Amino acid sequence: MKKRSWVMESILCAIVCFAAFGVYMMQAKDNGTFELEDMEGDRAYLADFPLEGHGGDEVSSFRFSILDGNLETAFYPCSVAELEKKMTAEKYGVSPLEANFVSVPPEEEYFDQTVIVAAEGAKVEEKDTSSVYLFDGENGIEGMTGQTITMDAAEVFHEIDYWNYLKKKGSVWQGEWIGARYSTGLILRDKEYFYTAENEQFFMDNYNYVANGMEDSRLKTYMTNIGDDVYAVTAPDERCQGQTYVFRLALVDDDSVDYKEKTLAETAQDRTVLGEAVPLIPVPDPAESKVVGLESVAEKDLLLLYRTEGNTFIVDVYDTAGKLLGSGSTQLLDESDHYKDNLTYAYKDFRIADEVASHIVPWEEGTSVEISVQGFLEAEENDQHYGGAGMTTGSILLWIDNGGKIEEVSFSGKGGQSIVRGDKVLCFSSRTAEEGEQIDEVLGYGTPETAYLEVYEKNSGELLYQGRIKTDFWQDDLKFLAGVDNAPKAGYIRKKERAMSGDHTLNRYLQCYIAGRWEEEGRW
């Protein structure tokens, strides 16, 4: 009887497994390929816009680039989440293997707040606290008392704490706490302001207080940075007196501060400043113009101050010395009445510009700035709906040349994100592919969207080129959905399959962006 060779059988088995795996991966790779399909115009117009993108699902993923109109792709035998980990590792100079063991710094965030300090010459009193003070309202809890420092004029200070990542050592990122504390120049006199605590000892031991007179109505501060310089503006409202500015801040090491325990009275009158705050741009009276945002174009040393005058949204462009270079504006739509008439919410306030989102792309010859403005209907306090209702109230597209001259761009694209460069505008939009629409009509299932790329002539709005990323995602969906019983009697199965589709090919997605400007949404 011939003796079996376990070693040879193991080797042959491994070869077969590797071969089978290779065939599977080749099929997956072919299944994930795609192309840039020209639909109208000349692809050469894409040359001004270097593009990158990535996508995939839980099984496989890919990256691509479109440079000078030429499409190049790379396939990855891993999920799109794993691919994005690799991309983040590249960004921070960490190998993909090391990225599993070494943290990368998260997006650095400023921790800031506005606080009140007794204004110079203010009448300051110390008294036993009633429960009304403790909860800053008309009614409190009977029997709960403490100490309160009141003032008839409060000065608004702005405080910042910021963890500055410096370098990686071993498996951790080293850094330091830096910060600033300065007077905004704003004074509050509309009511009696106060610091209060349940009792003095509780306050001193825990650096805590129940209320400080602005607990539910702090002033909003907008911040941005250019290099190591931080720029900040505290937006005044109708309560405020005094002149405030866009400040240029030099943050300093927090370790240099002696954080000794302070009494309640010392805290209420603490005028300590930290770092340097240089007033740069005067802020208009809030009765005339309201500040709603601050952005920077670091590559061009530009500051963008966003404000409103009634229903007019204004962008003021400054250099870092505080010189006004130009402005752009657009009318915002007040659709609050429409919302109030069509929803059952009870509202108490409407802000036509509550949030401002900017998409900024600097080019060698200038900067593209796309701005979207969101309004907000604030619900009554006793309303069951959380917060209120948000709505888009307006948008504006700007081209800022290197001399600071601002040009407002208007053209009729098909939605999505718009980016200007010179005399052209690129519009990204994400739409259901034509093949997917046919599947929708037959099966009633949603299918993946794909990226459409359109280039317009900036001034005339003429469409110069239209193309799309043509994928075979819809075929994957069709194969998956073909196994679903779509008969009317199987409605419960359809619902179940729809719920499960998130774990299958229907969860595949694709992102497209300007080369080098992908920003990860999270960290691992």
Q: pLDDT-derived band of residue 347, with 50, 70 and 90 as boundaries?
A: confident
Strands (E), 287-413: 290-297, 302-309, 312-319, 324-331, 347-363, 366-379, 388-401, 406-409
Asked if the model's pLDDT at residue 454 lies above 70, the reply is yes
Task: Give residue 508's identity as a one-letter amino acid code.
Answer: R
Closest alpha carbon to 162 in 280, 269, 274, 294 = 274
Edge-to-edge strands, sheet with 193-197 = 124-129, 146-151, 193-197
Q: What would the mean pLDDT of 511-518 be, rounded to a whole number?
A: 89
Closest alpha carbon to 158 in 219, 199, 216 = 219
Q: What would the mean pLDDT of 116-122 be, rounded to a whole number?
A: 91
Q: What would the mean pLDDT of 326-336 be, rounded to a whole number?
A: 90
Determine the Cα–Cα distance for residues 396 and 315; give it in Å rounded to an integer.
9
Asked if the model's pLDDT at residue 286 lies above 50, the reply is yes
Q: Do 274 and 180 form a contact (C-beta atoms < 8 A)?
A: yes
Q: pLDDT-derived band of residue 445, with 50, 70 and 90 as boundaries?
A: low
Contacts of 420 (CB under 8 A, 6+ apart): 366, 368, 397, 398, 399, 409, 458
Predicted model pTM = 0.81
Asked if the model's pLDDT at residue 100 lies above 60, the reply is no
Instruction: Say what the pLDDT of residue 32 is.
Output: 46
> According to DSSP H, which parts of 228-311 are helical?
264-268
